[in-house]
Amino acid sequence: MKLYASLHGVCGLAEGYSDTTVQFFKTLEQAKEHKARLLALLMKEEHEEIITHTDGTQDIIVMNDLESEHEILKIIEVEPLWDTEPKSRHTREYLMWNQIDCEAMYDGDYLPTDMGCIKEATDAMHGTVSSIPMDDWADFVGDMYYRGEAMLDADDVCIHFFRIPKSDTL
């Protein structure tokens, strides 16, 4: 069953980049309504312009172009593989958001499980990060398993991992 992720965050590594959030919805209409409510709230703040996709799935709000203050509202369609069978109730899948490039990794088509996320995190750091403190790595892994979302933030790598809820819990 398809789900729709409504993402709100800043573009790139601007102030507040760690506050990126996602809410999941069963229908595209529900996700668009959520995005519209967020957009209405952001429009109350001073801004320079809005860049909107014609299909209504993405808005970039330019707060201050000189300071590179941009916020993004984006809807990402996901289709979890482990959502329909009762025996897969405990298999969790994740949406990965590349904070630096402001895009869903693999266009949201690949939704890794817990251990897949660990592999993706180590692959992303390979060649770009010489080391990461063990406390930071332990926090990342703990957040994955216990909070349901985590952020890998190391040198030139910044990826958010958001656990996708089972459709019957939405």
pLDDT surpassing 90 at residue 12? no
pLDDT in tens, 129-164: 777 889 989 999 999 999 999 999 887 889 999 999
The model carries a pTM of 0.91
Q: What are the strands of the beta sheet with 3-10, ordered from one edge? A: 21-25, 3-10, 69-78, 58-64, 49-52
By the 8 A CB rule, do 99 and 159 touch? yes
Smallest CA-to-CA distance from 83 within 75, 94, 91 is with: 91
Cα(143)–Cα(44) distance, integer angstroms: 33
Q: Are 9 and 19 in contact (CB under 8 A)?
A: yes
